[in-house]
Amino acid sequence: MYLIVGLGNPGNKYAGTRHNIGFSAITYLSDHFRISLNQNKHKAIFGTGYIGSEKVILAMPQTFMNLSGESVRPLADFFKIPPSNILIIFDDISLDVGQLRIRKKGSAGGHNGIKSIIQHLGTEEFPRIKIGVGEKPQGWDLADHVLARFPEQQEEAVRQSLLDATDACEKIIEDSIEAAMNIYNQKKRDAR
């Protein structure tokens, strides 16, 4: 069983922002694999279903981003899922818009949502899919950048990255994280 968690901030105000790309990815997965997000417990909106023959839980924490671990840990405990089967999807400002980077483990790299999950799980050893949202423009405040929506000319790259993230999740679950890394860590897009 896998727990796939997309990170974001709850509320309409944040919908569609760079920081909420994890929520967007969960919505894509939900639609693609016909998994209804119809439960609200453990500080998360989530649903259970299957990717291939593997049971999965898709979840969107309803804490704010920097408290994501307060939702991920109770979900993991309730469903008895080890960190190696907790797949986190989140935004990364060091990657170009639409670029994916898959990792087996690692530090928070300055991402407060990941920092909270590491703190609550007590380990950095959980897989993750980073979706590039682009660097902040010079002179911009980081919060203003990640809480802004993508400009129209980047929408196609964003949509493709969400399709890639959906495929990457399936590859990780049905094959291996290494197989997914071999495919998606090589792809580079020009979203400018």
Q: Say which residue the tokens 């590491």 belong to.
A: 118
Q: Is 19 a catalytic residue?
A: yes
- Cβ 36 vs Cβ 47: under 8 Å: yes
As annotated, the active-site residues are 19
